[in-house]
Amino acid sequence: MEYNFNDIEKKWQQFWDEHKTFKTFDDFSNKQKFYILDMFPYPSGSGLHVGHPEGYTATDIVARYKRMKGYNVLHPMGWDAFGLPAEQYAIQTGTHPSVTTNSNCDTFRRQIKSLGLAYDWDREINTTDPCYYKWTQWIFTRLYNTWFDVKQQKGRHISELEIPDEIRKQGKEAIRKYTDDKRLAYYDNAQVWWCEHCRIVCANEEVLNDGSHEKCGNIVTRRNLKQWMLRITDYAERLLKGLENLAWPEGIKEQQRNWIGRSTGADVDFEIKGLGKKLRVFTTRPDTLFGATYMVVSPEHEWVELITTDAYRQAVKEYIHKASLKTDLDRTDLAKEKTGIFTGRYAINPVNGQEIPIWVADYVLTGYGTGAIMAVPAHDERDFEFAQKFNLPVNCIMDPADADPVLRDKVLAGNACWTEDGIYINSAHETLGISINGLNKEKGIQTIIKWLEEKELGKATVNYKLRDWLFSRQRYWGEPFPVIHWEDGEIEVLGDDQLPVTLPGLKKFEPGPDGESPLANAGEWLVVEKNGRKGRRETNTMPQWAGSCWYYLRFIDPGNDAEPSSKEKEKYWMPVDLYIGGAEHAVLHLLYSRFWHKVLYDLDIVSTDEPFQKLFNQGMILAFAYETAGGAKVSADLIEEREGRYFHKHTGAELKQIIAKMSKSLKNVVNPDDVVRQYGADSLRLYEMFMGPLDVIKPWVDSGIKGVFGFLNRVFKFFSNPENTGQDNEDPEILKGLHQTIKKVSQDIENLRFNTAISQMMIFTNLCIKKEKVTKETAETFARVISPFAPHIAEELWSLYGHKTSISCEQFPEADEFYLQTDSYEYPVSFNGKLRFKLELPLDMPEQEIKKAVTGNPQAEKWIAGKQIKKIIVVKGKIINVVT
Partner RNA sequence: GCCCGGAUGGUGGAAUUGGUAGACACGCAGGACUUAAAAUCCUGUGACCAGUAAUGGUUGUGCGGGUUCAAGUCCCGCUCCGGGUACCA
Residue length, the chain? 884
Q: Residue 420, interface with RNA (CB under 7 A)? A: no
Site string for RNA, 448-467 (x = CB under 7 A): ---------------x-x--
Stretch that binds RNA, among 20-28, 42-50, 253-261, 486-494 (CB under 7 A): 253-261
Q: Which residues of 779-814 are buried (b: 16+ CB within 10 A; e: fewer)?
A: bbbbbbbbbbbbbbbbbbbbbbbeeeebbbebebbe
CA separation for the pair 286, 374 (Å, rounded)? 9
Among 95, 332, 415, 419, binds RNA (CB under 7 A): 332
The set of residues, in sequence order, having a beta carbon less than 8 Å from that of 614 and lying 6+ positions away, is 246, 247, 248, 577, 578, 579
Task: Scan residues 298-317 and list those touching RNA (CB under 7 A).
Answer: 298
CB of 837 to RNA, least distance (A): 7
Stretch that binds RNA, among 9-17, 54-62, 324-332, 792-800 (CB under 7 A): 324-332
CA separation for the pair 711, 689 (Å, rounded)? 14
Q: Are 509 and 87 in contact (CB under 8 A)?
A: yes
Among 156, 331, 571, 736, binds RNA (CB under 7 A): 331
C-beta atoms surrounding 628 within 10 Å: 14
CB of 118 to RNA, least distance (A): 25
CA separation for the pair 295, 643 (Å, rounded)? 68
Q: Total binding residues for RNA by CB under 7 A?
A: 86
Instruction: Name which of 650 and 770 has its Cβ closer to RNA.
Output: 770
CB of 517 to RNA, least distance (A): 27
Instruction: Name which of 507 and 870 has its Cβ closer to RNA.
Output: 870
Closest listed residue to residue 302, CA positions, set 280, 276, 332, 274: 280
CB of 475 to RNA, least distance (A): 22
Among 116, 350, 369, 575, binds RNA (CB under 7 A): 369
Among 278, 512, 873, 876, binds RNA (CB under 7 A): 873
Q: Residue 254, interface with RNA (CB under 7 A)? A: yes
Task: Scan residues 377-396 and list those touching RNA (CB under 7 A).
Answer: 380, 382, 385
Among 32, 93, 258, 848, binds RNA (CB under 7 A): 258
Closest listed residue to residue 558, CA positions, set 56, 137, 26, 62: 26
Q: Residue 515, interface with RNA (CB under 7 A)? A: no
CB of 381 to RNA, least distance (A): 8
Q: Residue 878, interface with RNA (CB under 7 A)? A: yes
Question: DSSP E strands: which ranges in 766-821?
Answer: none
DSSP string, 624-656: EEEE-TT--EE-GGGEEEETTEEEETTT--EEE
Task: Scan residues 586-605 and list those touching RNA (CB under 7 A).
Answer: 586-587
Q: Are 605 and 641 in contact (CB under 8 A)?
A: no
CB of 761 to RNA, least distance (A): 8
Q: Are 470 and 206 in contact (CB under 8 A)?
A: no
Q: Residue 835, interface with RNA (CB under 7 A)? A: yes
Looking at residue 388, its amino acid is: Q
Instruction: Name which of 758 and 807 has its Cβ closer to RNA.
Output: 758
Q: Are 8 and 796 in contact (CB under 8 A)?
A: yes
Instruction: Name which of 4 and 651 has its Cβ closer to RNA.
Output: 4
Instruction: Name which of 507 and 871 has its Cβ closer to RNA.
Output: 871
Q: Residue 582, interface with RNA (CB under 7 A)? A: no
Q: Are 85 and 27 in contact (CB under 8 A)?
A: no
CB of 812 to RNA, least distance (A): 20
CB of 642 to RNA, least distance (A): 12
Grouping H, G, I as helix, E, B as strand and the rest as coil, residue 226 is strand
Stretch that binds RNA, among 44-52, 451-459, 676-684, 685-693 (CB under 7 A): 685-693
What is the DSSP-derived secondary structure letter of residue 809? G
Grouping H, G, I as helix, E, B as strand and the rest as coil, residue 354 is coil
CA separation for the pair 569, 560 (Å, rounded)? 11
Q: Residue 336, interface with RNA (CB under 7 A)? A: yes
Q: Residue 368, interface with RNA (CB under 7 A)? A: yes
Site string for RNA, 344-363 (x = CB under 7 A): ------------------xx
Task: Scan residues 203-222 and list those touching RNA (CB under 7 A).
Answer: 205, 208-209
Q: Residue 401, interface with RNA (CB under 7 A)? A: no
CB of 254 to RNA, least distance (A): 5
Q: Are 239 and 595 in contact (CB under 8 A)?
A: yes
Q: Residue 838, interface with RNA (CB under 7 A)? A: yes
Among 89, 119, 259, 552, binds RNA (CB under 7 A): 259
- 470 sits in the region (left: phi over 0; alpha: psi -120 to 50; else beta) called beta
CB of 403 to RNA, least distance (A): 16
CA separation for the pair 101, 107 (Å, rounded)? 10
CB of 83 to RNA, least distance (A): 20
Q: Residue 720, interface with RNA (CB under 7 A)? A: no
Task: Scan residues 770-809 and list those touching RNA (CB under 7 A).
Answer: 770
CA separation for the pair 388, 375 (Å, rounded)? 12
CA separation for the pair 596, 348 (Å, rounded)? 44
Task: Scan residues 689-718 and list those touching RNA (CB under 7 A).
Answer: 690-693, 696-699, 701, 703-704, 706-708, 710-711, 713-714
Q: Are 854 and 861 in contact (CB under 8 A)?
A: no
CA separation for the pair 637, 769 (Å, rounded)? 40
Instruction: Name which of 593 and 881 has its Cβ closer to RNA.
Output: 881
Q: What does residue 240 show for φ and ψ, rounded to 5 degrees?
A: -75, -50
Q: Residue 624, interface with RNA (CB under 7 A)? A: no
Task: Scan residues 274-293 and list those touching RNA (CB under 7 A).
Answer: 281-285
Instruction: Name which of 158 and 403 has its Cβ closer to RNA.
Output: 403
Task: Scan residues 736-775 and list those touching RNA (CB under 7 A).
Answer: 753, 755-756, 758-759, 762-763, 766, 769-770
DSSP string, 544-612: THHHHTSHHHHTTSTT-SSSSS-HHHHHHHPSBSEEEEEGGGTTHHHHHHHHHHHHHHHTTSSS-S-SB
Q: Residue 414, interface with RNA (CB under 7 A)? A: no
Among 250, 355, 488, 497, binds RNA (CB under 7 A): 250
Stretch that binds RNA, among 45-53, 246-254, 303-311, 593-601 (CB under 7 A): 246-254
